[in-house]
Amino acid sequence: MGHSSFLLQMAGLNILLDPVWSARASPVQFVGPKRWVRPGVAFDDLPPIDIVAVSHDHYDHLDAGTVRRLAGRFPAAQWLAPLGVKAFLRARGARDVVERDWWEATSFAGVEATCVPAQHFSGRTLGRRNHTLWCGWTFCGAHHRVFFAGDTALHPEFGSVAERLGPFDLAILPIGAYEPRWFMGAVHMNPEDCIKAVAQMRPAQNGQRMIVTAGHWGTFKLTDEPMDEPPLRMKQDWVAAGNAVEDLWILKHGETRTFDR
């Protein structure tokens, strides 16, 4: 859909990840980082949503206007959030909200969702820095396993996530908003870090193919690198590291792909 927003369809469910449909990633819609491209699917064209998973409370991942619209249109959806975010969602209309700490799980219609570690931070105002948790999510159904890393820097738990909850068919990993490195390196992965994270996960795959889908790029201008640099670097570094070209998906906005094991 753009940035870290994805629609995942698995086990008969429609799962939205970090949905943002507003024009700006900002507390107000007249100033702040503005979309360079429209959402990949118009809001009114969304299918019935069963689950909405939120990684943390930053404006480019948790948008108040989008929460209200989703809660109004899909009142029966289950919302998944890290610790401390439930109150924000409930105040904007979300009814069924499940909060989880790292490594805690919940199940919905045959899919087990687990909150997993990330290296980031939280807070929508300076006075609320790190009062809520940040995370990734894994989704394990009868036939497929998916890892959504959310917003994160490179950290040593990628291997543990794969060992405990994999092997994965698909990993959605962030690759953008990384310059300057002295400032962003502690909270955001660049393409090289993303490939290192994949290398941590490889042993637990036991030879099973894992598609890597790149997120967190090409929608909001948040940092210093050119908007089109992350996917170009990712493609080059992916191949240079000896990975198969067909195992990296750099999706166009609005593009749909089907995983067939």
Q: 242: domain range?
A: 6-249
Burial class (CB in 10 A: 0-12, 13-18, 19+), 64: middle
Question: What domain count does the chain have?
Answer: 1
In a domain, 261, yes or no: no
1 in any annotated domain:
no
Predicted TM-score (pTM) of the model is 0.96
Contact 235, 228 (CB under 8 A): no
> Could you tell me the pLDDT band of residue 261, with boundaries at 50, 70 and 90?
low
Q: Which amino acid is at 245?
A: V
Q: Name the residue with tokens 């990633």.
A: 25
The verdict on whether omega for the bond into residue 19 sits within 30 degrees of 0, i.e. cis, is no
Residues 154-161, mean pLDDT to the nearest whole number: 97
Report if residue 259 sits inside a domain. Answer: no
In a domain, 260, yes or no: no
**Mind listing the pLDDT tens digit for each residue in 90-118?**
999 999 999 999 999 999 999 999 999 99
Q: How many angstroms separate the most distant Cα atoms in the chain?
A: 50
Residues 200-225 pLDDT 10s: 999 999 999 999 999 999 999 999 99
Return the CATH number at 177.
3.60.15.10
Instruction: Give CA 4 to chain center in angstroms.
Output: 5
Kindly state whether residue 225 falls inside one of the protein's structural domains.
Answer: yes
Phi-psi category of residue 30: left, alpha or beta, with phi > 0 → left and psi -120 to 50 → alpha? alpha
Residue 257, in any domain of the structure: no
Beta bridge partners of 100: 82
